[in-house]
Amino acid sequence: MNPFAWLPTPSWSAIASPGRGAALLCLALASAAPAWAQNAIAGRALFETTAAATGNSALANCTNCHASVQERRTQIGGGPFAEISLTLATNRLGSAIATQPSMRPFQALSPAQIQDLAAYIADTPETSTDQLNFTATAINTAAAAQFVDLRHAVATSETLNVVSVAITGTNASRFTRTSDTCDQQTLPAGGSCRVTVTYSAPDTVGTMVPLTFTLRQGASATTFTRTMFLNGAVAVAAPAPGAGSTSESGGGAMGWPWLVALALATAALLVLRVQSEWPAVVRRRKRRAERRRR
């Protein structure tokens, strides 16, 4: 029985071409991803003790090729604690299984197991959102507070130390942390903390600044960051209809909409008049031309 019968091809041999096979597998895995909940903890077992976790003694442990999951994350995202999306991890894993001879035995894995492996590779600290958008109702008026959560990886035995939380950049002072349960805190596996922010500005100039978490995991001396963005703006009320200025440029109490309508009506009447009088104008010009020829 082919465990990848759900793919849009009858068997793995049918997609043996590296380019076509990788593309088909990655597309199928990506489209099938929502069908089940990915389990990073199960993925860790598949990565570290592949044969035992699958019950397939023919499969070597992933650690035989990659010393650790951090090594694989570095290959994909550029660092041992890189922020890697589930989609990217799935696509890279699917491509490797379809194209690399040493990975071909992993074709025996089910789609769910491949997704669990990808979830483990993508299991690093993350923020709950990439950005927060604030809109104050008026100048020097605080916008409604919003929050961002920092979540530690689930399938890890290491804690996460939040070295610092900082809002930086031009006009960063317009954003205020009203509460912060993250700064200088240590999170266990699967733990989270929250930073709540509000926004107020002395003018209507829009602002976008980064909020950065500086982190250190386990016994590592190397720090890494997670950054999201804060966008702030002040709503500018539009003038009330009919409340225009009485100056020469303002249109008076009638307001611009009325003046525009009047101008369009006048132009339409002028066009109609020209159209109605044009035949007579043409006849007069013809008579003058005939008199000149005589």
pLDDT at 28 over 50: no
Q: Go through 46-78 and write b for each residue having 16 or more CB atoms within 10 A of its CB, e for each that does not.
A: bbbebeebbeeeebeebeeebeebbebbeebbe
pLDDT at residue 125 greater than cutoff 70: yes
What percent helix, strand, coil does the chain show, rounded to 5?
45, 20, 35
Q: What span, in angstroms and rounded, lies between the C-alpha atoms of 84 and 71? A: 13
Residue 170 identity (one-letter amino acid): T
| Inside any domain, residue 273 | no
Which pLDDT score is estimated for 8?
A: 39
> Does the pLDDT value for residue 32 go beyond 80?
no
Tell me the pLDDT tens digit for each residue of 208-242: 999 999 999 999 999 999 999 999 999 986 666 65
Given this model, what pLDDT does residue 213 score?
A: 99
pTM, full prediction: 0.70
* CATH number of domain containing 205: 2.60.40.10
Within-domain flag for 289: no
Considering the domain architecture, whether residues 143 and 108 belong to the same structural domain is answered as no
* Co-location of 195 and 158 in the same domain: yes
| Residue of higher predicted confidence among 260 and 71 | 71
Domain's final residue, options 70, 99, 121: 121
Q: Which domain holds residue 213?
A: 126-234
Predicted confidence at residue 280, as pLDDT, reads: 64
pLDDT at residue 165 in the model:
98
Q: Within the chain, what is the greatest distance between any pair of CA atoms?
A: 114
Q: How confident is the model at residue 58 (pLDDT cuts 50, 70, 90)?
A: confident
The total number of structural domains in the chain stands at 2
Give the mean model confidence (pLDDT) for residues 54-70: 87
Distance CA 178, CA 163 (A): 19
Please report the pLDDT score of residue 20 as a whole number: 45
Share of the chain above pLDDT 90, in %: 61
Virtual torsion, Cα 165, 170, 175, 177, nearest 10 deg? 20
Q: Which of 121, 140, 174 is the last residue of a domain?
A: 121
Q: Report the pLDDT averaged over residues 126-138.
A: 98
Can you tell me which residue has the tokens 């990565």? 47
How much is the pLDDT for 290?
Answer: 55
**Poorest-confidence range of 57-71, 129-143, 226-240, 245-259?**
245-259
pLDDT single digits (tens) 180-218: 999 999 999 999 999 999 999 999 999 999 999 999 999
Name the H helices within the chain.
18-32, 40-48, 50-54, 69-77, 86-99, 111-121, 256-293
Residue 26 lies in a domain: yes
The tally of CA atoms less than 13 A away on the side-chain side of residue 63 is 12
Q: Which residue has the higher pLDDT, 19 or 256?
A: 256
Question: From CA 56, how far away is CA 236, in angstroms rounded?
Answer: 65
Using an 8 Å Cβ cutoff, are 115 and 6 in contact?
Answer: no
- Looking at the fold, whether 160 and 134 belong to one and the same domain comes out as yes
Nearest 10 degrees: CA dihedral of 141, 142, 143, 145? Answer: -170
In-domain check, residue 4: no
| 8 Å CB contact between 86 and 38 | yes
79/228 Cα distance (integer angstroms)? 19
Kindly report, residue by residue over 83-119, the tens digit of the pLDDT. Answer: 999 999 999 999 999 999 988 899 999 999 999 999 9
Tell me: do 108 and 132 sit in the same domain: no
pLDDT in tens, 147-176: 999 999 999 999 999 999 999 999 999 999
What angle, rounded to 10 degrees, do the helices at 18-32 and 111-121 form?
90
- CA-based nearest residue to 132, from 121, 110, 147: 147
- Name the domain boundary from 102, 121, 140: 121
